[in-house]
A = this chain, B = another copy of it.
Amino acid sequence: MSAVETLPRTRLFVDADLAAGAAVSLKDGQAHYLRNVLRLGPGAAVLLFNGRDGEWVARLDAVGRSEASLTLLAQSRPQGPGTDLWLCFAPVKKAAVDAIAEKATELGASMLQPVFTEFTDVTRVNTERLRAHAVEASEQCERLDVPEVREPVGLRDLLRNWDERRSLLVCAEAGPARPIAEAARALRGRPVAFLVGPEGGLSQSELDAFSKLPFVHPVGLGPRILRADTAVLAALATWQAISGDGTRRPPRPETGAEV
């Protein structure tokens, strides 16, 4: 399809409602990006998505220092149902937590929940920075939505307010655990969340508390001790491959070769 071949490569996540003929105004950071980084001028085309209205081809009408105005031409992809895959993770040091936000987005997480556990060293989480990483990763990986990034909570509060209909798969290095592939097959089709602890692991009292909760399933990620960010990726990737959307293909695979 020639329409596909000529689609623009720049994708931006926006807040505005998207519909045929609508005008969209982009501010500061995004205007700067179009003008000074991509050096696009009037007439250039970009793709916009907002997590609700699918993806649209937009024509750049004017681009100034702090504002760019665009007109929506046509929808290039409809909004699909999205994924339902939560990630609860103990915040780790900056580079690793940034990688978690970026790669969990690429792997289709729908919600990112930082959780303070007993052995969590980090005491503050810059959720705005994590959101920015999630937006950028969504723009690059062809998602039509951006995962929700929640404010951090303590593990106790997380468990107290947990909706028991969602299974919590706790990545556990110690204690009995079901291999992740087996757990993924058993829980296919049900809403799940993964919990990945900090570099120091989960404490014995945390593991004991989990053992009393019917919605918790300890899962094992194999014989090696993984870093926290590796464990996040391994868990999400394996879930998607076995019980998630791993059988689907990219919507526009030729994007990958357009260099």
A interface with B by C-beta (< 8 Å):
99, 102-103, 106-108, 119, 140-143, 173-175, 177, 179-182, 184, 199-204, 220-227, 230, 233-234, 237-238, 240-242, 244-251, 253-259
Contacts and interface: CB of A to CB of B under 8 A. Distances in A.
B140 A254 contact: no
B223 A248 contact: yes
B223 A249 contact: yes
A245 B259 contact: no
Q: Secondary structure of the A side of the interface?
A: loop
Contact of A241 (B141, B174, B180, B223): B180
Given A142-B225, A182-B247, 12 more contacts: A103-B230, A174-B253, A179-B246, A179-B247, A180-B241, A200-B256, A202-B257, A222-B240, A230-B233, A233-B234, A238-B238, A238-B241
B247 A225 contact: no
User: Which of A203, A223, A227 has the most B CB atoms < 10 Å from its CB?
Assistant: A223
